[in-house]
Amino acid sequence: MNQTPEVKDVILHEIAHALVGPNHGHDSEWQAKAVSIGASPNKYYDSETVKLANLYDFSCPKCAFKYRANRMPPKNRRYVCRHDLTPLILDNDPQEQAIKQFMLTHGCSREKAEQALTGDF
C-alpha cells in the first residue's frame, strides 16, 4: 500500500479537480487551487505509484479480450467484452473457469454452460 503522504496528496489532487470543475485538467486554475489546499500541482501518479489494493482480471471466453478492474461489478451486473458483448469471466475463480471451459468446448452461451454445470436444465 502507499504511504500516508502520497495518499493524502492524491486525495487533495482530486479535491482540487472537484473544486475547479470540469474542463480544467491540470491547467493554471487547477494548479492554483491544488497549491491553495496543500496538494502538489506537479505530481502525476500512475498505476506504479498509486497501487490498488485489489485487482481483478477478467477475460472474454470467445475472443480472449482481457480487462483489469479494481472492483467487482455491482450485484446483478457483469463486465462485458467490448468486442462482442460476451460476459467476461473472472480469471482466478474456479467456477468461472469451469464455465469458460464449457463455453469454449461446447460453443454455447454462458447461460447454457451455467445450466449444464449446475444440472439446472
Give the residue extent of every domain in the chain. 1-51, 56-118
pLDDT digits (tens, 9 = 90+) for 29-61: 989 999 999 988 876 665 555 555 567 889 998
pLDDT digits (tens, 9 = 90+) for 73-89: 888 888 999 999 998 88
35 in Cβ contact with 26 (< 8 Å): no
Reported pTM: 0.43
Backbone CA torsion sign across 50, 56, 60, 64 = positive
